[in-house]
């Protein structure tokens, strides 16, 4: 299944969570390829400003809807991104978070089954929990606390993967599963508590940069444009490849390194402030992307410094508009 850009018929594509940070960039990319996009969002964490530039576009339609309720629409393809994805948001209403992942997956899969169409699940590196192997490969089963404060998200996403595989085996549904690692860039929510947005907003407002623990824990940061390219490539793979497939940037940075990079790019005089490490916070996170390289021909192109520059510029504009 290829895309309109390659000389194929345009599709009507459903993006759940389409007003979110990643979802809105995916909507842009699909429209750029000549598709029609039906963006579904309940605006729990999505923002109208992320898609305001698309509201008058003839190929874009917005539907305010919560996917924990069934969805009756006609589309050719589904990207399921609906779910709060930052600890502040998913722990704020943990019951709703797990319902969005599990009941939402059932509703999206039911729709795909009725229409006999391909559906992609945006899963997460959080399915690996606090990993005991490094870097993480797709055949690693993870190390997750099923009853901790993060488990509404971790176990919700793990259950969604289970449902996708069971619909595939039982109903021969055409599915794709991506495990997305830390992603950053313009349109991130300033108050979502993620480390990139936190550091940048703190640096720009002269607040101390909050580092949890000693700052030696690592993350890998993928710029949104690389991630979206990987999602589109995954959707184009043959039906026999379901995934799961890791998508992320394997370049690993400590929190201290990230903090100093942000301070340098913003020219901020902010100090560093150390706080206790949150419960079940993973010590290290790094994707093994051999499978994505092999099956999608995908590798990230944007270096951290380059992506951070764009992200700093975005937050600078956002804060000066307030």
* Rg of the chain on CA atoms, in Å: 19
- Asked if the structure places residue 200 within a domain, the reply is yes
- In a domain? residue 65: yes
CA distance 258 to 171: 45
Contact 60, 54 (CB under 8 A): yes
Given a cut of 60, whether residue 305 has pLDDT beyond it is: yes
Mean pLDDT across 221-246: 98
Residue 3 within any structural domain of the chain: no
The structure tokens 């009941």 sit at 103
pLDDT in tens, 258-277: 999 999 999 999 999 998 88
Residue 5 is assigned to a structural domain of this protein: no
4, pLDDT greater than 70 = no
Beta strands 218-220 and 252-254 are antiparallel
Return the number of other C-beta atoms located less than 10 Å from residue 264's C-beta: 12
Q: Which residues are catalytic?
A: 153
Region 294-306: mean pLDDT is 97
pLDDT at site 130: 87
Among the residue ranges 115-119, 248-252, 317-321, the one predicted with the least confidence is: 317-321
Instruction: Please state the domain count of the chain.
Output: 1
Average pLDDT on 53-62 reads: 98
Taking only the tens place, the pLDDT of each residue in 171-207 is 999 999 999 999 999 999 988 888 999 999 999 999 9
**pLDDT (0 to 100) of residue 1:** 42
Asked, for residue 1, whether it belongs to a domain, the answer is no
Average pLDDT over residues 162-173: 98
We report the CATH number of the domain holding residue 23 as 3.40.50.720
- In percent, how much of the chain has pLDDT > 90? 81
CA 28 to chain centre: 15
In a domain, 187, yes or no: yes
Q: What is the pLDDT of residue 245?
A: 98
Task: Assess if residue 133 is contained within a domain.
Answer: yes
Cis peptide upstream of residue 135 (ω within 30 degrees of 0): yes
How would residue 8 be classed by pLDDT, with cut points 50, 70 and 90?
A: low
Instruction: Provide the domain limits for residue 247.
Output: 10-320
Mean pLDDT of all residues in the chain? 93
pLDDT at residue 108 in the model: 98
Whole-Å CA distances, 221 to 52, 133, 164, 255, 305: 27, 19, 27, 11, 10
């Amino acid at each position: 299944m290829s895309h309109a850009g390659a000389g194929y018929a345009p599709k009507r594509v459903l993006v759940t969570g389409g007003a979110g940070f990643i979802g809105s960039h995916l909507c842009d990319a699909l429209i750029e390829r000549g598709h029609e996009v039906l963006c579904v969002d309940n605006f729990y964490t999505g923002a109208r400003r992320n898609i305001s530039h698309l509201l008058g576009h003839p190929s874009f339609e917005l539907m305010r809807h919560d996917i924990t309720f069934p969805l009756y629409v006609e589309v050719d393809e589904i990207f399921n991104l609906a779910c709060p994805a930052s600890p502040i948001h998913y722990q704020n209403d943990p019951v709703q978070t797990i319902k969005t992942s599990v009941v939402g997956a059932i509703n999206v899969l039911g729709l795909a089954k009725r229409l006999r169409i391909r559906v992609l699940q945006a899963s997460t590196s959080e399915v690996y929990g606090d990993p005991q192997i490094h870097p993480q490969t797709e055949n690693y089963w993870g190390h997750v606390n099923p009853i901790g404060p993060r488990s509404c998200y971790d176990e919700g996403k793990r259950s969604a993967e289970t449902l996708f595989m069971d619909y595939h085996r039982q109903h021969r549904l055409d599915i794709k599963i991506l495990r997305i690692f830390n992603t950053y860039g313009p349109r991130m929510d300033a108050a979502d508590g993620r480390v990139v947005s936190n550091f940048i907003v703190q640096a720009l407002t002269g607040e101390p940069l909050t580092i949890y623990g000693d700052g030696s824990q690592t993350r890998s940061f993928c710029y949104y444009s690389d991630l979206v390219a990987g999602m589109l490539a995954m959707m184009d793979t043959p039906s026999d490849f379901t995934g799961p497939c890791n998508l992320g940037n394997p370049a690993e940075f400590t929190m201290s390194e990230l903090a100093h990079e942000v301070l340098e790019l913003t020219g901020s005089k902010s100090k560093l402030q150390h706080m206790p490490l949150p419960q079940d916070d993973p010590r290290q996170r790094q994707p093994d992307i051999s499978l994505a390289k092999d099956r999608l021909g995908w590798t990230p192109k944007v270096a951290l410094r380059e992506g951070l520059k764009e992200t700093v510029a975005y937050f600078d504009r956002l804060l000066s508009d307030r």
